[in-house]
Amino acid sequence: MTVPRFGLGTFRLKDEVVRQVVRTALELGYRAIDTAQGYENEAEIGEVLQEAGLPREEVFITTKIRPANYRRDLLLSSLQESVDKLRVDQVDLALIHWPVPNGEVKPEEYLSALAEAREQGLTRQIGVSNFNIAGLRQARDILGETPLATNQVEIHPYLQNRKLVEFARQEGLHLTSYMTLAVGKVMGDAVIQGVARAHGATPAQVALAWAMQQGFSVIPSSTRRENLESNLAAQTLALTEEDMARIAALEQGENARIANPESARPVWD
């Protein structure tokens, strides 16, 4: 029951762009791919996976259930459709994409349906995304002994989600950081640039290493081969305690949150 510490994000990548990015990433050695029903690129990713011909067990595939499919019957049928589009027998991890606290379908239904999808073999593991502490407690109560593999949340140097991180550590719950580069903002940050110069690294590598050293998985994305290759090398970068403290001081709180859809978001911690 593990989630790879490093993978490829595919948010906003579609059509021939996502095909080329995934193709290049696999050539470079990426072995985890993160997608979602809402990204509308599962079929293209499936084409490239089939074309690559890698052993199925070598590639970790994550997808997310879109809120429109949270009803039990739709969740199960839509995940089967995702599996078919990705051209696999099952995905490695299926997530609830957003909690949608005021939606018509309640957590009791969609979380139980997700657990049922695991029992049916549509996914090896289940998890959630963008859940706050209250949502995670509720999920634990609903799922009982069925474990959550991860909670995928926005974490970057300017939004460090410290309350949620502390809760997750106490509960032994893994976190996956998305938007770790703050949509490119870290590239121009003087502190991160300074740390990067000291290590002969890039600012992107520093931000990714900062997240991984805290135990988070990361799923950065790029359309450029050189950036995909450079990001992959972040796994070997070791930051000092002083580096980590300097980056920790960049916290800006809720003002720095990027992903925040009004209809789906919880009350953030």
Q: Find out whether 228 and 30 touch, Cβ atoms under 8 Å.
A: yes
What's the one-letter identity of residue 107? P
Contact 154, 179 (CB under 8 A): yes
Q: H or E segment at 16?
A: helix 15-28
Distance CA 52, CA 258 (A): 34
CA proximity to 12, closest of 21, 23, 4: 21
Best CA proximity match to 127, nearest among 259, 268, 255, 3: 3
70 is catalytic: no
Q: Are 266 and 134 in contact (CB under 8 A)?
A: yes
CB 211 within 8 A of CB 176: no
The SS3 call for residue 195 is: helix
DSSP 3-state assignment of 50?
helix
Q: How far apart are CA 134 and CA 53, in angstroms?
A: 42
For the chain, the distance separating the N- and C-terminal CA atoms, rounded to the nearest angstrom, is: 27
Enclosing H/E stretch for 228: helix 225-232
Q: Give me the torsion for CA of 1, 135, 12, 92, rounded to 10°.
A: 20
Q: Which of 30, 39, 70, 158 is catalytic?
A: 39
Question: Which of the residues are catalytic?
Answer: 39
